[in-house]
Structure 1
Amino acid sequence: MRAAVGIGYRNIDTAQAYGNEHGVGDGVRSCGVPREELFVSTKLAAEIKDYDRAIAAIDGSLTALGLDHVDLMLIHSPQPWDDFRGGDYAQGNREAWRALEDAHQAGKIRAVGVSNFQQHDLENILEGARVVPHVNQLLVHAGNTPSGLLAYCESKQILVEAYSPIAHGAILENTDVQAMAHKYGVSVPQLCIRYTLQLGTVSLPKTANLEHMRSNAEVAFEISGADMDVLRDLRDVDYGEHSAFPVYSGK
């Protein structure tokens, strides 16, 4: 994290499920950049679907991070990972959302949001929400562009953060994408990150490689409308070992 901040990154994304909140907090304090210049996000564990546990987990994240507030906290998934896209957790999500709203009101969380929420999941939250989700963090990349959901989020003024913009690495071997990247004089990751930015999302590439961190930030070029359509219409991206959620654990 300190290396990323040194390059110029300021958006720090973690989660209870990643098991690294303590280390992220240490990085925030030791990176040499004032806290107010960093945007620190974390996520409520997908399995927590009741108010009391959510409140305790929010406080647990602040303790683990060693911070008095986070800039953004998301519900990590509308379903627990072992039932992803499965059962009905509408009431549990409303309870978890109420906990985030209360923590937001108390100043513990500056912005609140969700992750992996489909339109019906968002509608469930919005029915009784005091605060409209500020963010929906979604899997968005060339070959997986949920245009309808992106449009819905825009209509509700919900910012979309695009995680895995390089398709968990699966798109690196796509010869058509390689050829397009060559045409623009950029790498495949740079092309894919730029694609998500031009969709109007905040792109969240992930790497521990210092050179990749640098190159991932060098995306000051423009993809043509025709090429955006080609990338949007890509199909059959095979994630290989990362085909099942949660992706972060490789399960």
Structure 2
Amino acid sequence: MVYTDLPHLERVERIHAAGFAAEIWDWTQKDAGALAATGATFTSMTGYVAGDLITPDGTDGCCARRSLSIPFAQAIGSPSLNLHGTGLGEGGIPVRPVEVVTGDMWLAAVRTLTRVAELGETHGVTFVLENLNTEVDHPGTPFAKAADTLALVAAVDSPHLKMNLDLYHAQIGEGNLVELVRRAVPHVGEVQVADVPGRCEPGTGEVRWSFVAQALADAGYDGVVAMEAFASIPGTAGSDLALAAFREAFTL
């Protein structure tokens, strides 16, 4: 989402040179060997590109795709693979949108995520379930709210299934970020940030990120914090400034 004026591998190299780890989305369009050759550290990647948590065919497809994702993750050294309630298509729209999440869907999701956690345990990786927002970016996504993803992760109760607490999505959908952080941290495997509105770097919107960073530290969180945000100023120089703002916001 930064250095978008550059080819993908050059983006990774710039991020690495600035002293940050990198994360990637759809791995099917990327070369694991070329990514590894950049020397960058990768902390997360998309854990699947198809399927969902709530239907038999979606569950089978979801787990099969996760199995395919694991060798790529191992090749680039990524310890975490990211999940959502359903696969996301063009523009972030769910491939299987849901208007009402039923009790049966909740039970199906727990069963599916239990299988996913077992897969992670077998291969020594951790899957992280990300909350999204349905108001702006991902309408129709089941289990989108942070409260939902937290409940599912807690129900499975495995070290190989954690929550990816996306505070950009949570601010849009729920707010009350500091209380959410305090409640969620025991189950969190990653935190993602972008400011609201606009989904750009910290300091461009309404969230006081230094306060959130302190809340994370006070809650004992010492894992990955990722900037999943666009640079507010286009071009390479704008991305440099965005990364600097991110570093400043989360340096205590």
TM-score, reference length from structure 1:
0.49
Which one has the largest radius of gyration?
1
TM-score, reference length from structure 2:
0.49
